[in-house]
């Protein structure tokens, strides 16, 4: 009954009123405009390295591994399947063209969120080698509790890709939170991966990169982070020397705007390496 009422309310409420109600209830992402100064934005944000975040993510991941929940995202548990099919498609595409081998470098992959969520579709892949690159405290906990024959944790892209001859690099909802996203893209380009999937990333049609502070809904945990908003054409120009676009991807976060009204959209890009 509650779900039906919620869906009905979404259909009749104007978008601005629906967004206002979500914000009032603490369930809406909020994007605060700020100067193009990463240090300034960091000083006014709480950041991703808070111990409480890892505690909550770890607790949620344990529920998923134990089979008591379907998957987790940002420490929030989901009990009904809601697969990210563009990601699954890219993973299976990589496995097919690699002869049944799926090598993944999952940069900023938490404790394996995308791996656990996609796992039901990977059971038919003969060899899965999923390598998460994360902050040291995530790597330490991941190795201690969640690593298995398919899932490992690494502190750098260089370490994760050291013995790979091909594979897919996955950047899911992470590129926008990096102080120097171009450097991470360079590191990935220097690795041996042959495909790159950038997912759930804020992009705009305007000229010039923008910077905002993302405020996480209170329902998840009270936190805030600096976040880049990338012009699509500029992001593609960064990638163009090494990568060719295969497909653009819609994302569930959809269109958003900052508090000043600047409009952007969460998008994904699936790319393959240009032949050397």
Tokens of 63: 């529920």
pLDDT of residue 53: 83
Domain contains 14: no
pLDDT of residue 99: 95
Number of domains in the chain: 1
Cα 102 from chain centre? 19
| CB 133, CB 155: distance < 8 Å | yes
Domain contains 24: no
Domain contains 257: yes
pLDDT of residue 263: 97
pLDDT of residue 30: 93
In a 3-state reduction of DSSP, which class is residue 228? strand
Domain contains 67: yes
Domain contains 2: no
Positions of the chain with pLDDT under 70 = 1-27, 49, 220-221, 276
Cα→Cα distances 156→138, 147, 159, 221, Å: 12, 16, 5, 27
CATH label of the domain that carries residue 42: 3.40.50.150
pLDDT of residue 77: 79
Closest CA to 196 of 120, 107, 266: 107
Cα 166 from chain centre? 21
In a 3-state reduction of DSSP, which class is residue 216? coil
Domain contains 76: yes
Domain contains 38: yes
- Print the domain residue range for 50: 32-273
Length of the chain: 276
| CB 92, CB 62: distance < 8 Å | no
Measured distance CA(178)–CA(168) in Å, rounded: 20
Residue with tokens 């060719």: 244
């Amino acid at each position: 009954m509650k779900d039906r009422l919620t869906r009905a309310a979404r259909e009749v409420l104007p978008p601005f009123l629906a967004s206002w109600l979500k914000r009032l209830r603490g369930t809406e992402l909020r994007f605060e405009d700020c100067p193009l100064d990463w240090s300034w934005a960091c000083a006014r944000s709480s950041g991703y390295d808070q111990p409480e975040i890892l505690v909550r993510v770890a607790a949620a991941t344990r529920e998923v591994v134990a089979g008591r929940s379907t998957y987790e995202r940002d420490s929030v548990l989901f009990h009904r399947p809601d697969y990210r099919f563009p990601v699954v498609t890219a993973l299976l595409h990589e496995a097919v063209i690699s002869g049944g081998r799926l090598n993944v470098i999952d940069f900023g992959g938490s404790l394996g969120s995308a791996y656990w969520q996609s796992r039901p579709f990977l059971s038919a892949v003969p060899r899965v080698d999923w390598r998460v690159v994360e902050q040291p405290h995530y790597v330490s906990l991941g190795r201690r509790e969640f690593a298995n024959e398919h899932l490992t944790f690494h502190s750098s892209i260089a370490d994760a890709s050291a013995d790979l001859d091909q594979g897919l690099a996955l950047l899911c909802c992470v590129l926008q939170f990096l102080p120097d996203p171009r450097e991470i893209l360079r590191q990935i380009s220097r690795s041996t991966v042959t495909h790159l999937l950038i997912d759930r990333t804020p992009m705009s049609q305007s000229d010039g990169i923008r910077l905002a502070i993302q405020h996480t809904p209170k329902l998840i945990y009270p936190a805030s982070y600096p976040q880049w908003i990338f012009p699509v054409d500029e992001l593609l120009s960064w990638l163009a020397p090494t990568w060719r676009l295969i497909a653009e991807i819609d994302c569930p976060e959809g269109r958003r705007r900052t508090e000043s009204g600047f409009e952007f959209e969460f998008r994904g890009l699936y790319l393959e390496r240009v032949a050397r």
